């Protein structure tokens, strides 16, 4: 099997599905080379913009953003309006180096929003509830690969991905890849989010806070590396804000709280709680994602299928939109294997692996052995996820394979496809490029 780049292996993505040499090249040479448009699924009824804000307090808007991180955009918008960032919510987090069209809401009495550079904002109406994370069916992508060395290899790679799809529905033109979490889930330049999450899950609040502030990456600027090193050596939290560059605002927030007192684990947890709630959740989510990636990698190494179950697998069934519903699951036994396999072939069921939490169901047989082996390797157990506040998780299931219809165009090489919510475009693009993940981010 073709091994992944070392940075990918560090986040649990150990192999490629395709054996053909990559086309090379890079993504995101310019913002317009990576375009994402949400397929929205906001279920609340929209009222006119002049509807009573007492009954409909949330202004819903669509924004097309160029080179905006979602959190940064929300912060800039709320700062301009003089309100808390927590009043802004959105359906899905997107990459900074892209042109993205996505849905937001803000708890705001007005109907007009301020102009921000690189943002085209269209107010859509008012609603009784905010846009929530997950209020989308999926995303449509158009990705240009620049400076490809071997663009002629794209068709052979696509054929291999079609073969990977063929152990399931196998429609003509359909490709498939393992539904792993992409590099950006863990930090493109400093992939440590999962390691911070593992510290949290193990109950080592001090290690988690210190790691997030102090651990550096060779891919960061030298000044940033030196600042992190200095803070780590001295642990003089009061002076950390002077040492750390201004763009490390979350690290500075943690250090600021530790400057008030760093005497016991509760202080370090309180420091992490200075971060926005979605970032607190992200730490544990990244730990879960890392374990999931390792489970998928081990399944691939063993040659187990991804599109059809083996005895002991836990499958989930499709909802009314044909999307995997992790609330409707079944452990596959010998007697149901052929029936469930037919459901998987028809897109009515999906083989899953756990995003581990307190309520995780492991199934049985080889799939369960793989999952338990990975958890032992990373040093956590389901009960460890019984944590306070935003850090706790009951866990869920995630389909281990994602399929899509792919259109390839040349001069320049362009990939057009759509994915369900929660799946990563770079997981498909990496199969074609096979380059350092930095060239994909």
Q: Does domain 6-32+138-179+402-440 have CATH number 3.90.1580.10?
A: no
Looking at residue 133, its pLDDT comes to 86
- A 10 A CB-CB count for 334 gives 9
Say which residue the tokens 């990918």 belong to.
8
Which residues have C-beta within 8 Å of that of residue 273, sequence separation ≥ 6? 280, 389, 390
Looking at residue 171, its pLDDT comes to 54
Looking at residue 172, its pLDDT comes to 63
**Which letter, b or e, does each residue of 112-135 get, where b requires 16 or more Cβ atoms within 10 Å of its Cβ?**
ebeeeeebebeebbbbeebbeeeb
Cβ(141)–Cβ(418) under 8 Å?
Answer: yes
359 classed as catalytic: no
Res. 170 pLDDT band, cuts 50 70 90: very low
When pLDDT is averaged across residues 346-366 and rounded to a whole number, the result is 96
Measured CA to CA, the distance from residue 342 to residue 340 in angstroms comes to: 5
Looking at residue 4, its pLDDT comes to 97
Which three-class secondary structure state does DSSP give residue 64?
strand
> Domain boundaries in the chain?
6-32+138-179+402-440, 42-134, 203-275, 279-399
Res. 278 pLDDT band, cuts 50 70 90: confident
When pLDDT is averaged across residues 177-197 and rounded to a whole number, the result is 94
* Structural domain 279-399, CATH architecture: 2-Layer Sandwich (3.30)
83's tokens: 């309100």
When pLDDT is averaged across residues 360-384 and rounded to a whole number, the result is 97
Question: Please, which residues bridge with residue 40 across strands?
Answer: 136
Assigned CATH for 42-134: 3.30.70.3160
* Structural domain 203-275, CATH architecture: Orthogonal Bundle (1.10)
Does residue 358 carry a pLDDT above 50? yes
Which three-class secondary structure state does DSSP give residue 222?
helix
Asked if domains 6-32+138-179+402-440 and 279-399 share a fold, the reply is yes
Looking at residue 322, its pLDDT comes to 85
When pLDDT is averaged across residues 346-364 and rounded to a whole number, the result is 96
pLDDT digits (tens, 9 = 90+) for 318-343: 988 788 999 999 999 999 999 999 99
Measured CA to CA, the distance from residue 58 to residue 249 in angstroms comes to: 28
Per annotation, catalytic residue among 33, 95, 199, 384: 95
Res. 435 pLDDT band, cuts 50 70 90: very high
Calculate ∠ Cα 315-41-107, nearest 5°.
125
pLDDT digits (tens, 9 = 90+) for 209-239: 999 999 999 999 999 999 999 999 999 999 9
Which three-class secondary structure state does DSSP give residue 395?
coil
């Amino acid at each position: 099997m073709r091994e992944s780049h070392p940075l990918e292996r560090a986040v649990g993505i150990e192999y490629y599905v395709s054996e053909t040499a990559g086309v090379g090249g890079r993504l995101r040479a310019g913002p317009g080379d990576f375009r994402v448009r949400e397929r929205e699924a906001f279920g609340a009824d929209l009222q006119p913009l002049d509807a009573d804000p007492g009954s409909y307090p949330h202004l819903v808007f669509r924004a097309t953003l160029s080179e905006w991180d979602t959190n940064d955009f929300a912060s800039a918008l709320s700062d301009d309006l003089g309100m808390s960032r927590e009043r802004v919510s959105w359906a899905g987090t997107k990459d900074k180096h892209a042109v993205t069209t996505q849905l937001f809401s803000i708890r705001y009495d007005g109907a007009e929003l301020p102009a921000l550079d690189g943002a085209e904002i269209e107010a859509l109406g008012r609603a009784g509830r905010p846009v929530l994370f997950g209020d989308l069916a999926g995303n449509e992508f158009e990705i240009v690969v620049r400076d490809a060395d071997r663009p002629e290899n794209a068709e052979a790679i696509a054929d291999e991905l079609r073969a990977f799809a063929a152990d399931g529905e196998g429609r003509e033109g359909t490709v498939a890849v393992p539904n792993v979490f992409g590099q950006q889930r863990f930090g493109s330049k400093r992939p440590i989010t999962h390691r911070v999450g593992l510290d949290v899950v193990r109950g080592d609040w001090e290690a988690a806070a210190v790691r997030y502030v102090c651990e550096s990456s060779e891919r960061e600027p030298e000044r940033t590396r030196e600042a992190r090193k200095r803070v780590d050596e001295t642990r003089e939290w009061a002076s950390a804000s002077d040492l750390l560059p201004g763009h490390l605002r979350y690290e500075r927030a943690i250090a600021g709280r530790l400057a008030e007192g760093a005497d016991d684990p509760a202080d370090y947890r309180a420091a992490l709680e200075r971060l926005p709630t979605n970032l607190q959740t992200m730490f544990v989510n990244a730990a879960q994602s890392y374990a999931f990636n390792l489970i998928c990698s081990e399944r691939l190494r063993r040659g187990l299928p991804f599109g059809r179950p083996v005895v002991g697998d836990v499958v989930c069934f499709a909802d009314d939109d044909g999307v995997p519903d992790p609330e409707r699951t079944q452990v596959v036994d010998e007697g149901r294997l052929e029936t469930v396999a037919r459901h998987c072939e028809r897109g009515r069921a999906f083989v899953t692996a756990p995003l581990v939490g307190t309520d995780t169901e492991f199934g049985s047989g080889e799939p369960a052995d793989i999952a338990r082996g990975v958890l032992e390797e990373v040093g956590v157990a389901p009960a460890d996820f019984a944590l306070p506040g935003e850090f706790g998780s009951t866990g869920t299931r995630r389909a281990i394979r994602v399929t899509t219809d792919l259109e390839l165009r040349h001069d320049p090489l362009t990939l057009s496809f759509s994915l369900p919510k929660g799946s990563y475009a770079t997981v498909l693009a990496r199969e074609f490029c096979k380059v350092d993940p930095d060239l994909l981010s």
